[in-house]
Amino acid sequence: MRVETTELEDVLLFTPEPFRDERGLFTRTFDAHIFDDAVARRASSRRPVRAADFVQDSQSRSVRGVIRGMHCRSGEGEAKLVRCAHGAIYDVLVDVRRTSPTFGRTQAFTLDDDTFAHLFVPPGLLHGFQALTDCADVCYRIDREHDPAEDVAVAYDDPDLAIAWPLPVSSVSARDAAAASWASLMKSL
C-alpha cells in the first residue's frame, strides 16, 4: 500500500496495490499496521488517531451531481478514513484548525473504485464531495460516535471557499442548502 502526504497538514492518501488477473482483482482496503505506522510517522495532530480508534463505519449512496458537505464536528472533532467503493467522487477538504500551517487551505481529490485510494481526514477539517458517476457509494470509517449537537456545516457554494465543483449540482440536502457561511464559522472558532 502506497502512503502519500498531501498539501494539507496531517492529511494522508492511502492507495492499495490490487492484484489483477483474468478473474478481476483482489485488494486489501485497510491495514491497521500500515495506517498506524503512517499516521505516527507523519501526523502532528493535537489528537492522534490509531486504527483501533475507529468505532463506526458508514456508507452513503449518491447520484451524479449530488453534493454532500461541507461538514465537520466541533469539540474534539472527528477523524475519518474515506473511500469510494463504487463509482467516483470529487472529494474536498478545508483546513479549519486555527493552529495549523495550512489553516484555510482547500485541497481536492478524486476517489474512485479503480484506484481504491483512501483519504485520511484528521479532526478539524471540513469535508464534502460530489458524485461524478451515475452512482457513487462512499464508505466512511469514523473514530467517534455521532453526536448531532456537534455537527458543523458550511455552504458548499460559499464564495469565500470558492470550491470549483466539476459538475452542475443536481441535489443537496435541506441541511446543506441552509448551511452557514465560511465567515460565520471563522467568527465561532
**Which among 71, 118, 127, 156 is annotated as catalytic?**
71
Quick one: average pLDDT of 89-103? 95
Q: Which pLDDT does position 40 carry in this prediction? A: 87
Number of domains composing the chain:
1
Question: Reduced to 3 states, what is the DSSP secondary structure of residue 182?
Answer: helix
pTM, two decimals, is 0.93
Q: Which pLDDT does position 189 carry in this prediction? A: 73
Each residue's pLDDT tens digit, 139-177: 999 999 989 999 999 999 999 999 999 999 999 999 999
Q: Are 92 and 127 in contact (CB under 8 A)?
A: yes
135 lies in which domain range? 2-188
Scan for cell 465567515, then name that residue: 183
Each residue's pLDDT tens digit, 36-52: 999 988 766 567 899 99
pLDDT beyond 80 at 187: yes
Q: Are 11 and 107 in contact (CB under 8 A)?
A: yes
What does the radius of gyration of the chain's CA atoms come to, in whole angstroms?
A: 16
140 part of the active site: yes
Each residue's pLDDT tens digit, 99-134: 999 999 999 999 999 999 999 999 999 999 999 999
pLDDT-above-90 percentage for the chain: 90
Indicate which CATH number applies to the domain containing 96: 2.60.120.10
71 part of the active site: yes
Nearest to 107 by CA among 4, 3, 11, 2: 11
| Alpha carbons 104 and 96: distance in angstroms, whole number | 6
Nearest to 142 by CA among 54, 46, 45: 54
**Which among 33, 118, 127, 140 is annotated as catalytic?**
140
Q: Which residues does 184 contact at the CB level (< 8 Å), separation at least 6? A: none
Q: Which pLDDT does position 46 carry in this prediction? A: 66
Of 10-14, 73-77, 125-129, the least confident: 73-77
